[in-house]
Amino acid sequence: MAEDAVPMTRSTSSNSSIHSNIDVHLAAEALLDSSSVASPDRLSRSTDPTSLAESIISCSQQQLSGAGAEEEEAGVGRRSKRARCGGVSTYNLKLLSDAQLPGPASSSRNVSGLTGRTLVNAEEEDELTDMKGEKGLEMDWELDVGPSARLKRKTSVKERVKRVAGKVGSVLGKRGRSVLEAGKRRLGGKKGKVDEEAAEVDEAAEEDEDEEDVPRWKKELDTGRKGLLDELDLDAEVDLPPPAKKARLATQAVLREMAQPSAALPSAVKASAPSKKMKRWQKEGLYVGQRADFDGSQIGGYKKLQKRKTKEAVNEGAEQVVTENQPPFMTLPMFAYLDKTRDFTIPYDIFAPSLKKGDEKPKDWHQVNRNRLIGEAKEMWEKSERLPASMCVCPAPGPGELGCDDVCLNRVMQYECNNENCNLSAEFCGNRAFAELVTRKEKGGPYDVGVEVLKTPNRGFGVRSCRTWAAGQIIMEYTGEIVSEGECQRRMHEDYKDKQCYYLMELERGLIIDGTKGSMARFINHSCEPNCEVRMVKVNGTPRMGVFAGAAGIMTGEELTYDYNFDNFGETQQECYCGAAACRGSLSKRLNATEQKKLLKVENERKRKAAEEAQKHAEDEDRIKRVNCGRGSGWRGWVAVDDPETKERLRREKREREKKEESSGRARRLAARRESLPVPAVRRSGDGARGRGGEGGRRKTVHVERAAELQAERQNEVEIAEPAFQGDGAARHSPDSSKRTEDLDLSAGVDSPALTHKTEPSLTKGEIEIGTNTTTQFQVPPTEEAEAGADQVEEKEHGAEEDQEAEDLSNPINRTPPAEYKLNKPSSNPNAEARTTTAKTKSYPLKNAVNTVSQAVKNTLLGAKSKGKTAAGEVLEKAVNGGKSAERGMKQTTLGFAKC
């Protein structure tokens, strides 16, 4: 028989090939030959049985003929079917099919007369056959022998599934059971359709035959002894119940996400999209390492794509081979797309670190976003020398650039540009940081503020950035109370002595910002590798401290830091926990030994001075308090000094003052008098005619400064020996005129030659020194009172000057008045002031004389006013009425003078 013509027998093994069937057939023929049993049936068959039924039928026929003959020969009676069938009445189909219809273990022939042996692996086959044969006997179906003998139908796969489902259901969960029930129902519905079932059985059989498609794991499991999978049809389709709601929603969400339009996909890719409804990447997927420009229409799926890529990689070289090593898992398409196609920014409201509920917040923080000048600092600031306004000459910048960069004159001088000092308009100028800050603050949103306070693990609170900052961009201002160095020391030693953190930063020489009441910038911690820097910038002439992003810029979520660069931080060095690679270990500067020594010296000196200043300040405060307690009004009169320390200080001050006065007119006069030299003085013309005292040509020059001084001295005397001077003389010093003197507008005529205003040919030349550097010259007509007063002044000068020296030592009037005296506001009740002054004036004639002189001065000035308004006259008028128009600061200075 030609090989091609060999009929195919049922086979369940992939190894049981065409060849094996050929072998079987040949072996059967050989057997028939060797047994010399001429079976007409057998011989008449042109083909081997093509099915199991046929084989069995042939077996039974054979057995019937053979065995019946034998029985008849042996005279044995009728036996049971089972016995007649040679003991092989039941079969395990599964095992038997694998064993190619095995017979009894001892028999080399099976029921069909075939050995079932293959030539492929005869020995193994034997063993297998033996084993399976034994097992196969245990099965429970019977061969119905007889005329109507009919093989029982093989249990269909679906029946088996149903049967097993019953068993499995008990061990499965609810959902599993419902799946099985659904399967059962489906199968039950088809019960009546025998033909269909038969077709299905055939199909199942065919499926069994098509073993090439069965995966190995399934085959292995399938052959297990009474295994579950032996009974289950794994390929059967089962209607699953709908997924749970949660899962359904999740799936929908993912699909929606995937269906988002891919705005940044290259147009080429868009063009090649296969359909409008389904995104190409939903079908094909865009995976990590996949190029965005691949042509989807040329590929059939991911596998093909991978193959193609590998090919390309080989062609394109090592660089592309990397794609082969891509991780096998799939990245979400949107991320791959973002990575590959463009830069992206996460919107502020999606990603912004922010304080969460329960996060610790700073306590005792009075947020103040403006600088406030406090106490002495105010005075210092008012007196401080103003730098001349600078003007930059920066050229216009190129397109997309900003002008006024590092070489800008204003920038170098730490001035911020504005429309007055810069040629460029605001949009092209890069030196208007604080202007930018103002604009941002006006917007006021969280993004504009862009920072927040956070608690650090080991450095207290800190400041975190909630957005990105470009290099050099201003972030915020360091604001607080601006105090003098003395006040700063005092606060440190008194107010903050129990505190752990100080928030003090030097703004300018002698001026310190105390951020205890200040902006959020006070929370910025130190780092040896900072990302910010703090700089002073003069904005419209006012120094302000800004926090700027460093050269590397700042990312969202970074903590802001700057280098404190402490010269010395307290007595001991404070340990640094910044965690930078190049951490110095402490918050102080890193210095070598020489620098440290030098620093120590400077620091000690600074401390000493500051302590002295603080002490002085405290004493002055104390004195003011005592005076106020005694007087109960705004009057700050003389203090009875009796403690030796103060006396000593007064002596020292006196000496200093004398030194200063060595070159003064008074000193010269005194010296001249002592040496009996003629007194160098300005003589008043015509004094002989009008003078009193019989000396004719006696000088009537009044040095008003000295007169005022003496007046004050006498006043002191009055104060000390008050009861003796309680007279009732007429009050010549009117409160009004006194007030005018106090309100003299110094700013109007400082050192102005126009102030020398001559109204009469014979005038008394006078000089009033105001403060330390302001002198107003004028000429006054002599009056009787003035003359008398002047005489007395002269006499007193001659006679009492020496006595006065000793007195001076204990008389505070001779001391330079402290700043507070000058600056404190006058009493709110001018009458109270006037009354005091009047009382004193009444009781002392010399003082009356001086007052008279003052009055004369005023009369002259007023006279000048009425006589027509020359330029000088106007100035004088202004000076007289200065109280109404003078600036507050100058008024206060004037008041100080008047009191002194």
Ligand X SMILES: C[S@@+](CC[C@H](N)C(=O)[O-])C[C@H]1O[C@@H](n2cnc3c(N)ncnc32)[C@H](O)[C@@H]1O
Q: Which is nearer to ligand X, 381 or 577 (CB)?
A: 577
What are the DSSP calls for 476-530, one per residue?
EEE--EEEEHHHHHHIIIIITTT-S---EEEEETTEEEEGGGS-GGGGPEE-SS-
Q: Which is nearer to ligand X, 525 or 838 (CB)?
A: 525
Ramachandran category for residue 3: left, alpha or beta (phi over 0 → left; psi -120 to 50 → alpha): alpha
| String of contacts with ligand X for each residue 850-879, x by CB under 6 A | ------------------------------
Min CB(577)–ligand X separation in Å: 4
Q: Which is nearer to ligand X, 476 or 702 (CB)?
A: 476
CB atoms within 10 A of CB 780: 24
Min CB(503)–ligand X separation in Å: 5
What lies within 8 Å, CB to CB, of 2 at 6+ separation is: none
507 lies in the site for ligand X, by CB under 6 A: no
What are the DSSP calls for 218-239, one per residue?
HHHHHTSTT-HHHH--TT---P
CB atoms within 10 A of CB 32: 15
Contact predicate 129/116, CB 8 Å: yes
CA distances from residue 140 to 145, 195, 692, 862 in whole angstroms, order as listed:
15, 26, 165, 146
Q: Which is nearer to ligand X, 504 or 856 (CB)?
A: 504
By beta-carbon distance, which residue lies closest to ligand X?
Answer: 460
User: Alpha-carbon distance 592 to 569, whole Å?
Assistant: 17
Binding segment for ligand X among 456-464, 469-477, 779-787, 829-837 (CB under 6 A)? Answer: 456-464
Amino acid at 157: V
| String of contacts with ligand X for each residue 280-319, x by CB under 6 A | ----------------------------------------
Nearest to 714 by CA among 822, 836, 848: 848
Q: Which is nearer to ligand X, 281 or 503 (CB)?
A: 503
Contact predicate 408/394, CB 8 Å: yes
User: Alpha-carbon distance 360 to 140, whole Å?
Assistant: 80
Binding segment for ligand X among 220-228, 329-337, 499-507, 871-879 (CB under 6 A)? Answer: 499-507
Q: Exactly one of 165, 437, 520, 576 binds ligand X (CB under 6 A); which one?
A: 576
| String of contacts with ligand X for each residue 458-477, x by CB under 6 A | -xxxx---------------
Instruction: Kindly tell me the burial class for residue 170, based on how many C-beta atoms sit within 10 Å of its own C-beta (0-12, 13-18, 19 or more).
Output: exposed
Q: Exactly one of 523, 562, 725, 897 binds ligand X (CB under 6 A); which one?
A: 523
User: Alpha-carbon distance 858 to 852, whole Å?
Assistant: 10
Q: Which is nearer to ligand X, 302 or 496 (CB)?
A: 496
Q: Which is nearer to ligand X, 451 or 834 (CB)?
A: 451
Q: Which is nearer to ligand X, 379 or 533 (CB)?
A: 533
Min CB(880)–ligand X separation in Å: 53
Phi, psi of 22, deg, nearest 5? -60, -45
Contact predicate 754/872, CB 8 Å: yes
Give residue for tokens 């949660």: 246
Min CB(533)–ligand X separation in Å: 15
Binding segment for ligand X among 87-95, 140-148, 200-208, 574-582 (CB under 6 A)? Answer: 574-582
Binding segment for ligand X among 85-93, 517-525, 624-632, 878-886 (CB under 6 A)? Answer: 517-525
Q: Which is nearer to ligand X, 513 or 780 (CB)?
A: 513
Q: Which is nearer to ligand X, 500 or 828 (CB)?
A: 500
Tokens of 191: 């019960």
577 lies in the site for ligand X, by CB under 6 A: yes
Tokens of 519: 């902006």
Q: Exactly one of 132, 158, 467, 522 binds ligand X (CB under 6 A); which one?
A: 522
End-to-end CA distance of the chain, in Å? 147
Min CB(578)–ligand X separation in Å: 4
User: Alpha-carbon distance 556 to 468, whole Å?
Assistant: 5
What lies within 8 Å, CB to CB, of 172 at 6+ separation is: 179, 180
Give residue for tokens 């730490």: 414
Q: Which is nearer to ligand X, 24 or 520 (CB)?
A: 520
Q: Exactly one of 101, 578, 748, 890 binds ligand X (CB under 6 A); which one?
A: 578
User: Alpha-carbon distance 196 to 210, whole Å?
Assistant: 21
Binding segment for ligand X among 174-182, 453-461, 637-645, 790-798 (CB under 6 A)? Answer: 453-461
526 lies in the site for ligand X, by CB under 6 A: yes
Give residue for tokens 């730098």: 387
Length in residues, the chain = 900
Q: Which is nearer to ligand X, 195 or 498 (CB)?
A: 498
Min CB(575)–ligand X separation in Å: 6
Q: Which is nearer to ligand X, 360 or 760 (CB)?
A: 360
Q: Which is nearer to ligand X, 130 or 529 (CB)?
A: 529
Min CB(705)–ligand X separation in Å: 51
Min CB(527)–ligand X separation in Å: 6
Binding segment for ligand X among 571-579, 688-696, 706-714, 722-730 (CB under 6 A)? Answer: 571-579
| String of contacts with ligand X for each residue 193-232, x by CB under 6 A | ----------------------------------------
SS3 846: helix
Q: Which is nearer to ligand X, 330 or 501 (CB)?
A: 501
Give residue for tokens 């660069």: 565
Min CB(552)–ligand X separation in Å: 18
Instruction: Kindly tell me the burial class for residue 103, based on how many C-beta atoms sit within 10 Å of its own C-beta (0-12, 13-18, 19 or more).
Output: buried
SS3 726: coil
Min CB(526)–ligand X separation in Å: 4
Instruction: Kindly tell me the burial class for residue 521, based on how many C-beta atoms sit within 10 Å of its own C-beta (0-12, 13-18, 19 or more).
Output: buried
Binding segment for ligand X among 164-172, 195-203, 454-462, 620-628 (CB under 6 A)? Answer: 454-462
525 lies in the site for ligand X, by CB under 6 A: yes
Phi, psi of 226, deg, nearest 5? 55, 30
User: Alpha-carbon distance 518 to 480, whole Å?
Assistant: 4
Min CB(367)–ligand X separation in Å: 13
Q: Which is nearer to ligand X, 563 or 785 (CB)?
A: 563
Min CB(629)–ligand X separation in Å: 40
519 lies in the site for ligand X, by CB under 6 A: no
Min CB(516)–ligand X separation in Å: 10
Contact predicate 16/97, CB 8 Å: no
Tokens of 549: 């992003």
Tell me which residues touch ligand X (CB under 6 A).
Answer: 459-462, 500-501, 503, 522-523, 525-527, 574, 576-578
